Structure 1
Amino acid sequence: MNTSAYGTEATAEAISAAAVARLEDVRLDWRHKAVPATANGTTHAGFVEAGHNLADLQTPLLTLDARALGGNADRLATWCKEHGVLLAPHGKTTMAPQLWTEQLNRGAWGITLANFAQLRVAREFGVRRLQLANSLTDPHAIEWVANTATEDAPILSWVDSVDTVEVIGRTLAAAGSGAVLDVLVELGGTGGRTGARGVDAALEVARAVSASPHLRLVGVSGYEGSLAHTADQDSLAAVRGYLGHMRQLHEELLDGGLYGSDAVILTAGGSAYFDDVVSVLSPCITAGAEPGGPANGPRVELMIRSGAYIIHDDGFYRGISPFSRDGGEPFRAGMHGWARVVSQPEPGLAILDAGKRDLPVDEGLPRPQLIGPALGGPMEPLAGAEITAVNDQHCFMTFDAGTTSVRPGDVVRLGLSHPCTALDKWTVIPVLADTDGDRTVVDLIHTFF
């Protein structure tokens, strides 16, 4: 394979602009719960061109913020360029080709995905460079990748056991395929998710890859986010220790001549610890045989896979993101929930018309921020209120009845946590120009979960 496939130089369209543009022809109807009944039959383009605003929508509702999305995308793109690292955003966060386009247009290497179904979505929209942050064990997926990946449109995947190497080899042999799949050996950690447990086990996997006629080793992969969930010193030490083992594995693979390519990728880094990934692994970056590089050895690039950053939140990522921790320019929350009071059955308790089917709850419950008598109208801070429980279709909001008035029909704006489990609940999501200012609907984001 031509090593330029792993570089930053674009040799073809990163995503099909025509395929993404066709989303503007989608007709809106009862299948799209964010769209008002009055817009039934209108195309996406027609709805946006009509100049609708927040007041034209209905609850329950999830909206995105164009100003935040653009600012967040610019911020991480600039940071990656300054630090000399590649970005392959984890597309499973949004499953939105329109947002992938924004990331790719800002220089992202490609899009990372989590499973076979997601790979198919990305290829349907013409995403050229793909990475599967997982192992291929489904025979249908193995054959599809073998038949779909090309020199100019690579699909990288991971392996973490000799058994997985053998599964891929048997599947391709049975299919009579002569394809050679590019894989990265995945290092895991005790108590973590996938990944070979320890450097020695990962080296055994790498040797199996090297001996396979159907696989080529092109890098080392891992995910530090499954080993920690806070930014305290113990968690950061665990993350950095794990990344140190990734570096050790890479160095031993180099010494053993086990890489099968003159272009190698080291990849780790979700949206919580990408700064630590770069701090620990960036010394591994080399130019290879290019001018200024060593006479021998592959070109080594470092790739992070942050996915949640473009949306960000008012919860988990707000607290743990490196840009929040280091005192620099933080990301902005790019999503908000809107819910209407449908019942105020007892003093200090209001029931809202949004629930688990509408809003994320796995990384913290929604947080009441503002309240007003109408969606899209003036709102005031909702101090002291709290969401205490969430059912399938309702939120339980407590408040101080002595100082705060809450009536049926009032609208509450909610801060949310964890974009990965927010967007999957909506097939179409309105984008406001600026949630805190101009609430004109400037776009509709289509998701494909």
Structure 2
Amino acid sequence: MNTDKGTTETGPSLLGGVSLPAAAVFEPALAHNLAWMQRFADAHGAHLAPHGKTTMTPSLFTRQLEAGAWGITLATAPQCRAAFAHGVTRLLMANQLVGEPNMAIIAELVEQGAEVYCVVDSAANVAHLGRYFAARGQSLNVLIELGVMGGRCGCRDADQIEALVAAIAAQPALALVGVEGYEGMIAGGNEVAAVRAYGERLVDTVKALRASGVLRREAPIVTASGSKWFDLIAEAFDKAALREGYTPVLRPGCYVVHDHRLYAGAMADVKARQPQLEGELKPALEVFAHVQSLPEPGLAIVALGKRDIGHEPDLPLPLRRYALASNPEGGREPVDVSGWQTTHIMDQHTFLKIPEDAPIAVGDVIAFGTSHPCLTFDKWRRVCRVDAALNVIEEMPTYF
């Protein structure tokens, strides 16, 4: 992407002043999503700590915090370091902190004034963390992770939790401050019921730990929620009356730009479960690329590949055509091409099945939607923030 503008009031047009392919975040939808999710969390008496791994874009972290977020969630120690370097001081690492080089990163952040939380699910990890942070003369905030059978990390049952509480109590350098979970791995015949049950289990666990006196935080943290089931986790927090005496935290990440397929479907499910909700999230992320070849009828090759856009669980979704080459006078007006189909994607090429009589030329631009935005952001070192007219407002660096 070749622009030298940086943040400007009137930047170049994405269609004429930026080297394509380029990833673009639309400001109107972005602003809407930031406000919508913050209102949702506030309405349920919950804090919001958006998962930063989705974008790893500090400009967006700043916007989320300015909108009212409690902190930013990260997945790794280097991600925490990148966020802190750009002004994020409350860091929730929703993952186990393993390996002394990673512990050193977190210890350095704590020394610099960061408020850091990480999760634990084994006595072995607890012992290693306890030794390391004691040697540094520091205290580390930890949350017990509550897992599910067949899922990834986390304690599976009450006996494991009890043993872990005892292990943490034996480490003076560790402060047990709450419970963390992730419901996104739940699958089966009745996922809604299973997620609701998991939310209740999460709440019951933090309440039991608080009653036992083992928690070292006056308002203990209870946190879960990805971008699919956030309404059910918020429902569990609200039903348990956690507004007083606890710190309930929701952690969706993809909401900030949403998408055109995976989370669009999840949003429709949320609206079906919660018909009283006003409005909904809007897709804000698209990738623009040139048609580079029309080698045979019904086939367009676009200069876009796996290195530019996510391609799972769905292939890129063609949305609009800008006829810059086939109609130079009016080509900046978008034409809907949502009936066209991506059939294959390679490192630098996307195969589009198009009508044989489609008015298209080499040099035209196609805007593509995504399914699961995390897998598109990590392709880019810079992402364009654009207005509704496709003028670049800001070039936003990413830090993957």
TM-score, length of structure 1 as denominator length: 0.82
Q: Which letter does structure 1 place at the counterpart of 2:252?
A: S
Residue matched to 2:172: 213
Q: Deviations over 1:168-214 (max 9, x none)?
A: 123234xx322121100001111212111223212321221122111
Separation of aligned partners in 1, 2:102 and 2:90 = 17
- Note if 1:441 corresponds to 2:387: no
- Note if 1:142 corresponds to 2:92: no
Which one of the candidate residues 197, 200, 215 is aligned to 1:241?
Answer: 197
Shift of 1:75: 0.7
Residue matched to 2:186: 227
Q: Which letter does structure 1 place at the counterpart of 2:339?
A: G
- Note if 1:386 corresponds to 2:341: yes
Do the aligned residues in 2 keep the contact of 1:203 with 1:253 (CA within 8 Å)? no
Residue matched to 1:313: 259
Residue matched to 1:100: 61
Residue matched to 2:364: 410
Residue matched to 1:347: 297
How is 1:22-101 mapped onto 2 (pairs within 5 angstroms)? 34-35=1-2, 39=3, 42-45=4-7, 48-49=8-9, 51-54=11-14, 55-101=16-62
Do the aligned residues in 2 keep the contact of 1:368 with 1:386 (CA within 8 Å)? yes
Structure 1 range deviating more: 329-338 or 363-372: 363-372
Do the aligned residues in 1 keep the contact of 2:133 with 2:140 (CA within 8 Å)? no
Do the aligned residues in 2 keep the contact of 1:187 with 1:199 (CA within 8 Å)? no
Separation of aligned partners in 1, 2:179 and 2:338 = 48
- Note if 1:302 corresponds to 2:248: yes
Do the aligned residues in 2 keep the contact of 1:199 with 1:245 (CA within 8 Å)? no
Q: Deviations over 1:264-298 (max 9, x none)?
A: 0100011111110011133444466xxxxxxxxxx
Do the aligned residues in 1 keep the contact of 2:306 with 2:346 (CA within 8 Å)? yes
Secondary structure at the aligned position of 1:320 is classed as helix
Shift of 1:153: 3.4
Separation of aligned partners in 2, 1:182 and 1:285 = 24
Separation of aligned partners in 1, 2:181 and 2:243 = 22
Residue matched to 1:424: 378
Separation of aligned partners in 2, 1:427 and 1:51 = 18
Residue matched to 1:369: 319
Q: Which runs of 5+ in 2 are unaligned?
A: 326-330
Separation of aligned partners in 2, 1:129 and 1:223 = 20
Residue matched to 2:306: 356
Q: Which letter does structure 2 place at the counterpart of 1:447?
A: T
Separation of aligned partners in 2, 1:238 and 1:343 = 49
- Note if 1:275 corresponds to 2:231: yes
Do the aligned residues in 1 keep the contact of 2:290 with 2:362 (CA within 8 Å)? yes
- Note if 1:398 corresponds to 2:353: yes
Pairs aligned (count): 390
Q: Which runs of 5+ in 1 are unaligned?
A: 1-33, 289-298
Do the aligned residues in 2 keep the contact of 1:349 with 1:396 (CA within 8 Å)? yes
Q: Which letter does structure 2 place at the counterpart of 1:279?
A: E
Shift of 1:234: 1.5
Identity of aligned residues (%): 35
Q: Which letter does structure 1 place at the counterpart of 2:137?
A: G
Residue matched to 1:334: 284
Q: 1:331 to 1:383 in 2, by over 3 A?
A: closer
Separation of aligned partners in 2, 1:193 and 1:200 = 18
Do the aligned residues in 1 keep the contact of 2:258 with 2:285 (CA within 8 Å)? yes
Secondary structure at the aligned position of 2:64 is classed as helix
Which one of the candidate residues 203, 214, 220 is aligned to 1:258?
Answer: 214
Q: Which runs of 4+ in 1 moved over 6 A?
A: none
Q: 1:352 to 1:309 in 2, by over 3 A?
A: same
Residue matched to 1:199: 158
Separation of aligned partners in 2, 1:142 and 1:418 = 30
Do the aligned residues in 2 keep the contact of 1:199 with 1:248 (CA within 8 Å)? no
Q: Which letter does structure 2 place at the counterpart of 1:74?
A: A
Shift of 1:147: 4.1
Do the aligned residues in 2 keep the contact of 1:129 with 1:154 (CA within 8 Å)? yes
Residue matched to 2:139: 180
Shift of 1:305: 0.6
Q: Deviations over 1:237-278 (max 9, x none)?
A: 222222222123223213322212212010001111111001
Residue matched to 1:17: none
Do the aligned residues in 2 keep the contact of 1:323 with 1:331 (CA within 8 Å)? no
Structure 1 range deviating more: 90-99 or 234-243: 234-243
Separation of aligned partners in 2, 1:249 and 1:383 = 47
